Chains A and B, each alone.
Chain A
Amino acid sequence: EDQVTQSPEALRLQEGESSSLNCSYTVSGLRGLFWYRQDPGKGPEFLFTLYSAGEEKEKERLKATLTKKESFLHITAPKPEDSATYLCAVHNNNDMRFGAGTRLTVKP
C-alpha cells in the first residue's frame, strides 16, 4: 500500500538554526512529490514539485531535494515567520497521498 511518512512530527528551532524535514514514501509509479506550507486555520500553500531523483528546488530559505525513497526540505537560517506545518504529498498513478506533516516552530 502506498504510504507517505513525515518526520519529525514537530520540530523546534532557534532563529538561525538550520535543519531538515524528512518525507519518506513508498508508492508505485511516482509521478511527482509536492511540498506545502500550512499556517494555522488556513489551507495548504504550494511550495515545490519534484519529479525525479536528484532534482532540487529552492525558494528563499527553503530547499527541497528528492531521492528514490525520500525527500528532504532543508531550512537554512530559519526565521520566526517560517513557523508553520509543512506537508509532503506524492502523486502516483491514481491519486495524491499526503503525509501528516511536520509542525515547525522557530523561536526568536
Chain B
Amino acid sequence: SQTIHQWPATLVQPVGSPLSLECTVEGTSNPNLYWYRQAAGRGLQLLFYSVGIGQISSEVPQNLSASRPQDRQFILSSKKLLLSDSGFYLCAWSVRDRNSPLHFGNGTRLTVT
C-alpha cells in the first residue's frame, strides 16, 4: 500500500532563517506531488505541484520554492523565512489521473518567530 511521510511534524524557526521540509512517498511510481498551506479557518492553498522529476509549477508568488530531486521526494524550501510563512504545511500525492483524489501527509506546523 502507499504511504506518505512528511517531516518534521513541528518546527520553530527565527525570521530570516532557511527552511527545508521534506516529503517522501512509498508504494507508488510517478506520482503527482503537491505542497499545500492551510491557514486556520481557511481552505487549503496550493503552493506547488509537480508531475515529474525537476518539473515544478508554482501557484502563488511567495518566499518559498520547491524541488523534486527524485521521483518520490518533494522538498519545500526557503532561503529566508518571514513571519507570514507561519502555518500548517501539507504534502500530498495523487496518481496521474486528473480525477483521482489527493492523499495527504500529516503536515508540518511551522512557527516563525
Please report A residues at the B interface, Cβ cutoff 8 Å. 4, 9, 31-32, 34, 36, 41-46, 49, 51, 87, 89, 91, 95-101
Contact = CB atoms under 8 A, between A and B. Distances in A.
Contacts of B46: 95-96
Interface of B: 6, 41-44, 46, 59, 90, 92, 98-107, 109
Given A34-B101, A51-B99, A42 B42 contact: no
Contacts of B44: 44, 87, 89, 98
B104 A32 contact: no
Contact of B102 (A4, A46, A101): A46
Contacts, number: 51
Contacts of A4: 43
B99 to A, nearest CB: 5
A51 to B, nearest CB: 7
B99 A31 contact: yes
A100 B104 contact: no
